[in-house]
Amino acid sequence: MIDLEKTLILANQLKMEGKLNESLKEYKNILDNNPENINAKFNLGDIYYILGDINKSIDYYEQLIKQAPHHVLALYRLAISYFRAAKFGKVIEVLNEIIKSDNKFEMAYYWLGLSYYHMGKMNKSIEAYKMLRSLNKDNSLGCYHLAITYKAIGEYSKSIECLLKIHKESPEVVSVNYHLGLSYLGVGDIKNALQYFKTVIKLDPEHKSAKEKLDEIINDQDMIYSYGIEIPKDEKTGKIVTNYYLGQAYKGFSMLEKSLKHFKDKLDEG
């Protein structure tokens, strides 16, 4: 027989120090001597989740729930493990069990929203995020994902409304600026779309998607016209005068350095 109390203290200490494989051995040692030990099962589920062995994580959480069906934290961790395993139906089932006993458990609604989103049930996703926001209007995570869901179903104005609330408090979040750019593009507001895509590139110069969107706008003649830039053509060939056109476009977007480059290229051509 082992001293369960001392072994549990040792296992917890090893876990806190990041010595996960060593702590696993100690928790398993506890279960070998006391198969009903809830604390050991919970920590084994937790460690296996951290190590990326989701099936074993689920197994230990499920064992624990059989013993203690109303263990809310274990239910919550089980739901997240199911989510990571892409078992979204199971996630929803477990989270609804949590909500039955605690309908103000904020993060249960967050994961519900994500699960419904991944199942393509956008209206259910929106309901979950709205419930989260009714419990905590300052929950920026819920507000952000509500915006993404609105954007996914083409409700761009509602998406913008949510994203601007986050942007007001945290103006330098790259993903918020990027999705604002996409949403403004969705409502045809080219000027604001450009503003936010440019902000993304300023914050993250290597942001490939923002660069692609900016180039897409610059090379879309209809968008250029809507932005108030005339596209000159060669009088003889009728073709767009590329360097001058790009110079005008970049000038219109306040990207002066690139604008000068293209005007100089055109001058060099004669």
Question: Which residue in 94, 86, 78, 84 sits closest to 46, CA to CA?
Answer: 78
Q: Pick the closest to residue 49 from 78, 76, 72 (CA basis).
A: 78
Query: What pLDDT shows up at residue 4?
Result: 82
Return the residue matching tokens 């993903």: 175
Euclidean distance between CA atoms 214 and 208, whole angstroms: 10
- The whole-angstrom separation of Cα 196 and Cα 171 is 10
The CA-CA-CA angle for residues 193, 215, 269, to 5°, reads: 130
Tell me, what's the pLDDT at 69?
94
* 254 CB neighbour count, 10 Å cutoff: 10
What is the rounded distance in angstroms from the CA atom of residue 160 to the CA atom of residue 179?
8
User: What's the predicted TM-score (pTM) here?
Assistant: 0.78
Task: Report the distance separating Cα 63 and Cα 61, nearest Å.
Answer: 5
State the pLDDT at residue 138.
86
What pLDDT is stored for residue 155 in this prediction? 97
Domains of the chain and CATH, by start: 1-103 (1.25.40.10), 231-270 (no CATH)
Q: What span, in angstroms and rounded, lies between the C-alpha atoms of 30 and 92?
A: 32
pLDDT value for 220: 64
Reduce the DSSP state of residue 57 to 3 states and report it.
Answer: helix
84 vs 156: CA distance, rounded Å? 29
pLDDT of 3 reads 83
Rounded (5°) CA angle 132-135-139: 60
Structure-token pair, residue 192: 């604001």
pLDDT at 241: 47
* Alpha helix positions (H), 87-241: 88-101, 106-118, 122-135, 140-152, 156-169, 174-186, 190-203, 208-218, 221-226
Residues of the chain with pLDDT under 50: 228-232, 240-241, 263, 270
